[in-house]
Amino acid sequence: MIKLNNGIEIPQIGVGTWTLRGETAVNNVRLALEAGFRHIDTAQLYENELDVGQGIYDSLVPRCEIFLTTKVATNIMREGREAVRHSIEESLRKLNTKYLDLLLIHWPVKDCVKDTWQVMEDFVRQGKVRSIGVSNFNCHHLDDLLSYAEIRPVINQIEVHPFMTQEENIAYNRELGIQVQAWGPFGQGDIDVIGHPLLQSLAAKYNKTASQIVLRWIVQRGLITIPRAKPNHFAENLEVMQFTLSDEDMAAISGLNRNLRSNVLNDPENFPW
């Protein structure tokens, strides 16, 4: 568990649901919870909140044991405060929950962050959202947000993998007391992270998979992560808490950095929202 700046704890490893819809999303979420995960991540843009909510319901795991995250969509942010407010109420309805553990701004949409954040703060005050944070924010985005925010973000969810280590951004978030959550730990399938020879050799050395080596590198850095929900990898992902990489191997993995995003469109400074 990682403690957030508001005192709430979040499981360090969760399951992401990007690209999962329909019965696949329902079943994967249910199976993840049955396997022992207690941290589920979705978003309005994923168009699967109804499915995620059903998966949670079907698992029979008490809602109070689950850390549930969703994110405000970019197109909704452009429509203004009332649209944002309505979308959050819709997310609560679709997810079949009275509250969200974490609500994020999905992308720093220009000229829309302040209004969105202030609506999110209202939901915290109403008790419908326990924590609020951001996703894909660079340092200057955080500076701007903190110039008016009454509630400090607890998390910044950013792309982190061995080819995109985000050292500077992570260090700055930590200075601000904001935890960092890594999305796309394996490169989203757009770049071959786990196929790198170093990761393959470390997998053999530790008798683990290359995916486990990457996840261990992330959690050993003190980051939170949400690899996509794939039932055949659930047990494998949970096992990363049971071994440790040497300092030398941690440094070697970090040395793979190329500042390479999985997709050029994922650059917060130049994304097409």
Environment class of 273 (CB within 10 Å of its CB; exposed 0-12, middle 13-18, buried 19+): middle
Q: What type of residue is 190?
A: D
Instruction: Give the distance, in angstroms, between the CA of residue 231 and the centroid of all CA atoms in the same chain.
Output: 18
**DSSP β-bridge partners for residue 133:** 104
For residue 46, indicate whether it is catalytic.
yes
Buried b / exposed e over 233-242, threshold 16 CB at 10 Å, is: bbeebeebee
Catalytic residue, from 46, 57, 148, 206: name it: 46
Rounded CA separation 186/209 (Å): 12
Rounded CA separation 182/160 (Å): 5
Nearest alpha carbon to residue 37 among 268, 261, 273, 238: 238
At 83 the three-state DSSP class reads helix
Query: Which residues are annotated as catalytic?
Result: 46
